[in-house]
Chain A
Amino acid sequence: MSVQMWTYLFVFLSFGLYIGIAIWSRAGSTKEFYVAGGGVHPVANGMATAADWMSAASFISMTGLISFLGRDGTFYLMGWTGGYVLLAMLLAPYLRKFGKFTVPDFIGDRYYSQTARLVAVFCAIVISFIYVCGQMQGAGIVFSRFLEVDVTTGVIIGMAIVFFYAVLGGMKGITYTQVAQYCVLIFAFMVPAIFISMMMTGQVIPQIGFGSELVDGSGYLLDRLDGLSQELGFATYTEGQRSTQDVFFITAALMFGTAGLPHVIIRFFTVPNVRDARRSAGYAMIFIAILYTTAPTVAAFARTNLINSVSNAEYSAMPDWFRKWETTNLISFDDKNNDGKIQYVGDAEQNELTVSADIMVMANPEIAGLPNWVIALVTAGALAAALSTAAGLLLVISTSVAHDMLKRTFMPSITEKQELLSARISIFIAVLIAGYVGMNPPAYVAQVVAFAFGLAAASFFPAIVLGIFQKKMNKQGAISGMAAGFIFTASYIIYFKLINPAASTADNWLFGISPEGIGTLGTIINVAFAYTIASFTPDPPDDVQELVENIRLPGEA
């Protein structure tokens, strides 16, 4: 059976599964729509959190980026996993004890202020919206490359599927489809990784193959990769190029951001109690770690394989996969010295081959000559990753509008039925806008996606942690902290990424911190503002201090 047939089969089967789950898990109440009724098993919630969390970027792009960054790629690995330690110990159990539906619920009640609630709604919508556009775009690209439909058709198919289960099932539908999507995506990621590890090192477990000798007798994988990189004038794979302080700040920004992303936090509202919230953070960490410890191994395998396959090879003798990816411009060859061979070297003057980072996961099975069904599996996995994250984000947008803005702020008299209807309508509108942006991506969307982390780090993360651990933190402190952190981080990123990208070099950066890492400074600014302002303004009222006392203790919510 051809790759094309396998791809259709896998995509068809997985989509059928998602739709089946959606019909089975329709939501009848706002509690079901917002938090899946609050009765999700911690293992199921762990899987759903992992799928919610691992987006098209984790699945497709991260491995490729690490492959080209070498050791510097570490900030993605540690940053996107280390945040779960913070989430498990500083946020998840307390927010579950608090026991409402959304992050603005907590901010608004804890800081006894509608202004705080609305600031939180604004931050949640901006962060989630930036992020969801990237997912839609990712889904569109995967569709167009593998199913040979155009990007617009691809995005429409993706929209229709997400729309179906998100509108019908709300959090309940999303949770159980995410469980299925986790299984699809982890299987699709691990199978090629295991194949390649076995082929190159004879080890079944990629994490062990990573530190093993190659079967062709050329020594340890990482030593060989360092050697090849040096020979060809690339940076040594296991050594860092970026400044230590920049790597430090980027890692911290990704960790704080992970712990402050509303679509991840609300997953912990869906379990029955505080104990299960802690447990499901543990399961989520394990499920995520399976992919995150495998990604760097695939990065090293794929990079070695790529160099071995193309370096100094005759262009005319390149196999099918090379031509296929050339037509999508993900690989391009320019025979500068007209010798008909591919010079793939570090020196930009002489290098003849340009390879996009995205190709490393998508083309890796083909480069390694794996069976057709394995190649096709990657498509289903990438779509599962994109759609599961998109659905989680859309839910945040819809709850922010229907629950936080309408029910809790502007129209408190609406009935539960009306609230549910407005949640469905707002998900519908959000899907349409995200789909439109996915079809007509402004050039900057992809660049801005990573910065959702910076914004979450600088706004929600400190406001929530201070709200739990500092009983005396008041509304003035929290609001000014969130506003200062958000505005500082957003301006820095907008300046270096949108207004003046040419100036974005280490010399011009504040303390040598890149826009990717500036969220950490935003977090510090947030905390500094919060403490300073709070020390000049009155303490929070007694009932709020009691609320804080109460969420710190175990027991029923």
Chain B
Amino acid sequence: MAHAHAVKRYRGLMDWLTTVDHKKIGILYLIGGGFFFLVGGIEAILIRIQLAKPELSFLPAHTFNELITMHGTTMIFFAAMPLIFAFMNAVVPLQIGARDVAFPFVNALSYWLFLFGGIVLNISWFFSAVPAAGWTGYVPLSGPEYGTFGVNFYVMGLQVAGIGTLIGGINFLVTIINMRAPGMSFMRMPLFSWTAFLTSALILFAFPAITVGLVLLMFDRLFGANFFNIDLGGNVVLWQHLFWIFGHPEVYILILPAFGIISEVISTFSSKRLFGYSSMVFATVLIGFLGFMVWAHHMFTVGMGAVANALFAVATMLIAIPTGIKIFNWIFTMWGGHIRFTTASLFAMGFIPTFVMGGVTGVMLGAAPADYQFHDSYFVVAHFHYVIVGGLVLGLFAGAFYWWPKMFGRILNERMGIWTFVLFFTGFHLTFFIQHILGLQGMPRRVFTYMGGQGWDTSNLVSTIGAILMGLGTILFLVNAIITASKPKNAPADPWDGRTLEWAISSPPPEYNFKQLPLVRGLDALFVEKSEGHKAMTPAEPVGPIHMPSPSLIPIVFSVGLLIASLGFMYANQPFSNEFIASLFKNHVIAIAGLALTFGCMVVRSIKDDHGYHIEVEELEKEGVHQ
């Protein structure tokens, strides 16, 4: 059913602004997430400089509180999550033998919403109104009475980005449920795609909770509501419940994809199938499910009563069991293998002991009466950095070195990679191990300074030195990426002797991924073929015209509309020296204009009939269409 209409194909910048191709969107997420990772990293270095010595006045107290707020919010929402989506986009369709995700247009929309959400949050720096209530934004500190103007950037930025994440999660759920290649049952799906699937399910159920919380806070702050106003019947603890019902699954959203990456990398570089595949799947499902049952362990010191605390304590400790199952299965995957030490596998191997350390402090924190000492101290800071940085970020580095050739057609320099690992890994442990002790010694978190003579001075200095080493490692990675970009694009399809479908096609793949959808005959589909002496996958269909989705400018315009609307609502009641501008904001003209732009995009998209286009067989036979 070929259409005779002209196919709009863009080049250069317009290609990137209008793309709906999951592979390009993956690269966009990598660049966007990578950029915000650097921003969050600079914020971290500034924090650690201020804390290097007692009573330093490098940063005033309020600026420090702004920095810790932005560091946490940026790293979690605008660095970690986009980098996860980068790999989900780049890899999942290839691993399941699909040509793209289920909804390519929505996929692009997810990306631009994330980017503009991150812009909304971070332009607060340029308006000198930065949120300072912590990434957790507890009321009343974030509320209309005690919160500064900057909290509005937090409230709006996260709502915009949150919509993007939610629709992204839905997209991947549908993709994985509907678009697996013939023969790929769920239990033949690679672990990274499994974790992408479960992560998407967590996103679906968790993000609405924080959206509700943010909407309530937005109404309190901007529209005179009283949800959290105790004088009019509000309750401050309500915010905490809404936040953490999201917040706890969120950290499993962060770590599950890393678990997936580790499974892939360890298996490939041991040349062995994953040990205990069904247990691994089951354990991951259990972790995801239990992740929704434990949120109030962030609230042990609120005073909810013994029954609540006891129940949540036990549920929290139970999660250690499926997590432990995974650790043992990774170790036994390597047992009896031929282990290769590359940068990717070094990061994956570094993950195992580091994440175990983070996990065991998690069990300790789950013991509620012990948590009465640990809570809001540096012990917690140590724990979550061990699991997020020592877990997720090490996993992301492993994924980066592993999948870089597939994404860019070039292999990252191994020598620089190993030095990146050494610097980052050493720096990481130096920074955060000592913080366990600081917490036990009584150092609270979110403090802009501390008094000398308490025995905390040397530990803080060591921690700062570690942070600088991590920064150096990150810079080295950046240098590596830039240098590699200038190398010829000649990576082989399968540089690591891989086992899964993404290695069956060229690096980078053609626009349509698979000329013919492959027939999957078992777990580790490519390895099954290799074991039988085949060089390629058996096709599951004849060569035919391939239907492709059209590029579109709508997603970016849609997101710009929400940026404008956010600023319009935020500044509605602010004073302006220019009367005309003041009236524009006061009468909500700006806000409505932004919303109109966004709704206009929805109308155009709904009305305009776009059936995509086809790549014909002749083009395919000519070695296909490349990026």
Do A and B belong to a common assembly? Answer: no
Residues of B that sit less than 8 Å from A by CB: none
